[in-house]
Structure 1
Amino acid sequence: MNSDDEQLLRGRIYGHDHDDPNPGPLPHHTYAALVGGPLDGLLLDITGWRPDEVDDGAALSTELGQFPGGRSLYDPRPGKPHTPGPGVSCRFYYSGDAP
């Protein structure tokens, strides 16, 4: 990934197209900030996730990881708080890639 790719990803929502006219966060939605790895800087919409789902993290499809078409794994850090409600409520940290 080059610096142009990184700039496209910053502050955007995972799963939205790069040319989406409104790629940013929506009011009344809850997000996890993705930290590290190929999706660094993106927000993951976790609106409606149960606390145990948030604790499990996410395996996110991406063409930018070690395995194109595979998944990048992001997990919350144990003991790090997540706040309920709209906005960025927690951080998911990169833990590796899977085919």
Structure 2
Amino acid sequence: MDEVEFMRGRVYGADHDTPGPRPGRAYAQLVGGPLDGLLLDVTDLAEDERARGVTLATEIGRYGAGGRSLYGPRTGDPRRFDWRGDMP
């Protein structure tokens, strides 16, 4: 199983013992970029925070360890967050 396949269906930042979605939580699918296919728990994000998007730490992006990837809600489908780029 390659790294991309391994990460699919997993929740970003989740414990390895409970990698999948949990009941009662709201998730957005990350689309594109290094975190493509992961789910992001957006349950506790306020509406304005969701609209601004998120910056997520990742070691598999353009900048490696210490790098971050930017994702924002897709116009017309807030259940998907599209990749907007990487930053150091």
Code of the residue aligned with 1:24 in structure 2: it is G
- Count of residues paired in the alignment: 87
Cα deviation, residue 76, structure 1? 1.1
**How large is the Cα RMSD of the aligned pairs?**
1.3
Per-residue Cα deviation, 1:2-56 (whole angstroms, up to 9, x for no partner): x711011100000124xx2221000000111000000000001111211111001
Identity of counterpart residues, as a percentage?
A: 53
In the TM superposition, structure 1's runs of 4+ consecutive aligned residues that sit over 2 Å from their partners are none
- 2:70 is matched with 73
* 1:86 paired residue number: none
Q: Which has the higher contact order (CA 8 A, sep 6+)?
A: 1
Pairs within 5 Å for 1:1-99:
4-17=2-15, 20-68=16-64, 69-78=66-75, 80-82=76-78, 90-99=79-88
In the superposition, the TM-score normalised over structure 1's length comes to: 0.81
Q: Give the gaps of 5 or more residues in structure 1.
A: 83-89
CA distance in 2, matches of 1:21, 1:72: 24
